[in-house]
């Protein structure tokens, strides 16, 4: 009977190579992506001038990219090595990290929906901070210009938010950009063959209606909120697309952990019974 039970246990206690290598290649793909993100972020930081880079450290897009890349690199490294070496400690670290990230994303979505006013205030603060450092960081400048062109907006709440930037502030009358806004705020007509790149100069001195003939006067915050409301299905699809790989990773890692534990218990069982001649 003992041999029969051992044979039954030997038959069903094993580590599935499918689960092991699917998890390994799954992590390897995202590990390579993380390595690329970190490389791009480091290159972006190194190529900037030291003073400018330090001045806008808190709003530098490359910092966010670097943080995401490093975290992703560490987590996927644990998943890669853990699955390949069948290391329970690394696999549990990988699984716990994915669970934490998934719960944080879920909590952020719920809190953003429940405390929408505070979320609006925080986004406004981020945009205003970016406006202040607009000329300190080329990456940040390109990001703001892209957002204003795509959404057809100017500033966080109003086009006059650009007065917070020292180059567009009205106090310095010697600057040609004084009391103006960036070119990305301008209304561009497709009919005109020659584009006036100075169309935003002096627009902060104009009234809302008069400025509206030359530039976008609506703030980017309201435009962003309207875009979110009109693209809820798209955003839901993106959120689901981000959640599925995490849930798959959690499931596969947990399955592999359970299989490795079963294999360890089987080995202990065999050692105990083979060392005892009376069994």
202: left (phi over 0), alpha (psi -120 to 50) or beta: left
Residues 35 and 142 in one domain: yes
Residues 199 and 178 in one domain: yes
How many residues does this entry show for the chain? 279
Residues 120 and 42 in one domain: yes
Q: With respect to residue 223, please indicate whether it lies within any of the assigned structural domains.
A: no
Task: Select from 47, 19, 35, 125 the least CA-distant residue to 72.
Answer: 35
Q: With respect to residue 95, please indicate whether it lies within any of the assigned structural domains.
A: yes
pLDDT score of 242: 85
Q: With respect to residue 224, please indicate whether it lies within any of the assigned structural domains.
A: no
Strand partners, 218: 158
Sign of the Cα torsion 86, 92, 95, 98 reads negative
- Residue-level pLDDT, tens digit, the chain, 279 residues: 344 444 444 444 577 889 999 999 999 999 999 999 899 888 877 776 554 444 454 556 778 888 889 999 999 999 999 998 989 999 999 999 999 999 998 888 888 777 777 888 888 998 999 899 898 878 888 889 999 999 999 999 999 999 999 889 888 667 788 889 999 999 887 666 566 778 888 888 888 888 888 999 999 998 988 888 888 888 888 888 888 999 999 999 999 999 998 888 887 777 777 655 554
Q: With respect to residue 49, please indicate whether it lies within any of the assigned structural domains.
A: yes
Residues 57 and 108 in one domain: yes
Residue 9 has which token pair?
């246990």
Q: With respect to residue 135, please indicate whether it lies within any of the assigned structural domains.
A: yes
Residue 134 has which token pair?
């607009």
Residues 90 and 184 in one domain: no
Report field, pTM of the whole predicted structure over 0.85: no
Q: With respect to residue 225, please indicate whether it lies within any of the assigned structural domains.
A: no
Residues 205 and 253 in one domain: no
Indicate the number of domains in the chain.
2
Residues 78 and 192 in one domain: no
SS3 state of residue 24:
helix
Task: Select from 148, 150, 146 the least CA-distant residue to 181.
Answer: 148
Q: With respect to residue 222, please indicate whether it lies within any of the assigned structural domains.
A: no
Residue 192 has which token pair?
């005109």
Task: Select from 88, 92, 138 the least CA-distant residue to 260.
Answer: 88
**Residue 185 sits in which domain range?**
159-217
Q: Are 167 and 135 in contact, with CB atoms under 8 Å apart?
A: yes
pLDDT score of 46: 78
Residues 129 and 181 in one domain: no
Residues 135 and 179 in one domain: no
pLDDT score of 11: 45
Residues 43 and 96 in one domain: yes
Residues 115 and 176 in one domain: no
Q: With respect to residue 227, please indicate whether it lies within any of the assigned structural domains.
A: no
Residues 165 and 266 in one domain: no
């Amino acid at each position: 009977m003992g041999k029969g039970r051992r044979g039954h246990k030997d038959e069903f206690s094993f580590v599935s190579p499918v689960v092991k290598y699917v998890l390994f290649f799954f992590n390897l793909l995202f590990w390579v992506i993380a390595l690329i993100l970190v490389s791009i972020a480091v290159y972006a930081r190194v190529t900037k001038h030291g003073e400018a880079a330090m001045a806008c450290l808190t709003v530098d897009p490359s910092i966010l990219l670097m943080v995401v890349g490093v975290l992703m690199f560490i987590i996927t490294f644990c998943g890669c090595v853990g699955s390949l070496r069948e290391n329970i400690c690394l696999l549990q670290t990988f699984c716990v990290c994915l669970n934490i990230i998934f719960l944080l994303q879920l909590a952020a979505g719920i809190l953003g929906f429940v405390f929408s006013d505070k979320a609006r205030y925080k986004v406004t603060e981020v945009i205003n901070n970016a406006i202040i450092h607009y000329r300190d960081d080329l990456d940040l400048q390109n990001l703001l210009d892209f957002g204003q062109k795509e959404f057809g907006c100017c500033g966080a709440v109003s086009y006059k938010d650009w007065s917070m930037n020292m180059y567009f502030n009205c106090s310095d009358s010697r600057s040609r950009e004084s009391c103006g806004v960036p070119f990305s705020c301008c209304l561009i007509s497709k009919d005109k063959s020659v584009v006036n790149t100075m169309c935003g100069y002096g627009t902060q001195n104009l009234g809302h209606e008069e400025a509206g003939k030359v530039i976008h006067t609506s703030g980017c915050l309201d435009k962003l909120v309207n875009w979110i409301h009109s693209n809820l299905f798209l955003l839901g699809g993106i959120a689901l697309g981000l959640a599925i790989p995490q849930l798959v990773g959690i499931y596969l890692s947990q399955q592999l952990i359970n299989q490795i534990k079963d294999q360890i218990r089987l080995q202990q069982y065999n050692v105990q019974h083979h060392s005892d001649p009376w069994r």
